[in-house]
Structure 1
Amino acid sequence: MEIRICKTDEQLAQLARLANEIWHEYFAGLLSPEQIDYMVQMYQSPDALTRAVRREGYTYFLGYEGDDLVGYCGVKPDGDRLFLSKLYLRSDMRGKHLSSLLLARAVELARTEGKRAVYLTCNKYNAHSLDVYHAKGFKDVDAVVTDIGHGFVMDDYILQLDL
């Protein structure tokens, strides 16, 4: 997998299309269709991704197989830590250790920027992702329920990898 930094409007649009596909497939067993639609619109739509890059300091690493976008990772600096906001792969690309490559880029960026840790939030019922992050050395440091509007909440663990 080749990893590129998302830099163009076309890449952002491509990222939004992939995010929509992944979220509706992956989260179908964890969240209601209405909450998935809402969260995709709020956090993964072209407008949301553009705002994240241009105004909120996000960097998106895009994973390609040839010209085919197959996964992505979104990060942003947060004080002395790096927030890993998103890390997703298309269903046919899971189980091939490609998420490890995206995660390694996030950790590399954190080290380059002198961060002491990488942290993330993960749905409390997303057992597979929690297992993967724990296997990579992340530790549970807190739990949080976040009201995201329209009657929806995110019920998450906060995990951290100390560098």
Structure 2
Amino acid sequence: MEIKVCETEEQVRSLAELASEIWHEYFVSIISKEQIDYMVEKFQSYEALKKAIAEEHYTYFLGYDEGQLVGFCGVKPDGNRLFLSKLYLHEKSRGKGLSSILLRKAIEFAEKLDKKAIYLTCNKYNRNSLDIYKAKGFAAIDSVKTDIGNGFIMDDYIMQLDL
């Protein structure tokens, strides 16, 4: 997998398209289509990603396999930790170890910034992702319910990996 930092308008557009495709494929068994549509627009759209990069200090690492964008992760410094906001792979690219490569990039970035831990939020019903994060050394340190607007609540575990 080749990893690039998302920097160009074209990369942001490709990232938004991939995020929408992944969300509409993966999360249908966990949350409603209405919530998926809302969350994609609010957090994964071209406009939302541009704002996250320009104003919220996010860095997006794009993963390419044979020249094709197949996954990404988004991170943001938060005090002495790094927030891993997003880590997604296209369904055709799962099970090949590519998420480990993206996670390793996030860990290297955190270490470069001298962060003490990486943390993330993960839906309590997303058993597959929770199992993967636990296998990678993350532990649940809290659970939260977050009102994200439009009548939707995110019911998540906060998972942390100490570095």
TM-score, structure 2 as length reference: 0.99
**Following the alignment from structure 1 to structure 2, what is the Cα–Cα distance between the partners of residues 80 and 2?**
28
Deviation of 1:66 (Å): 2.6
Residue in 2 that maps onto 1:114: 114
- Answering whether residue 147 of structure 2 is matched by residue 147 of structure 1, we say yes
Residues of 2 paired with 1:51 and 1:10: CA distance? 15
Counterparts of 2:105 and 2:22, CA distance in 1: 21
Say if 2:15 is the partner of 1:15.
Answer: yes
Segments of structure 1 that go 5 or more residues without pairing to the other structure are: none
Amino acid at match of 2:78: D
Instruction: Note if 1:123 corresponds to 2:123.
Output: yes
For residues 10 and 22 of structure 1, the distance between their equivalents in structure 2, rounded to whole angstroms, comes to 18
Aligned to 2:134: 134
What RMSD in Å do the two structures reach over aligned CA positions? 0.4
Identity of aligned residues (%): 64
SS in 1 for 2:128: helix
Structure 2 match to 1:61: 61
Deviations 1:75-120 (A, max 9, x none): 0000000000000000010000100000000000000100000000
Equivalent residue letter for 1:15: L
Q: Deviations over 1:40-95 (max 9, x none)?
A: 00000000000000000000000001321000000000000000000000001000
Match of residue 77 from structure 2: 77
**5+ residue gaps in structure 2?**
none
Give distance in 2, aligned partners of 1:72 and 1:109.
14
Aligned length: 163
CA offsets 1:109-155 (integer angstroms, 9 cap, x no match): 00010000000000000000000000000010000000000000100
Q: Matched residue of 2:122: which SS?
A: strand
> Distance between the aligned counterparts of 2:143 and 2:54, measured in 1?
29
| Runs of 4 or more above 2 Å deviation | none
Distance 1:101 1:66 in 2: 15
TM-score where L is the length of structure 1: 0.99
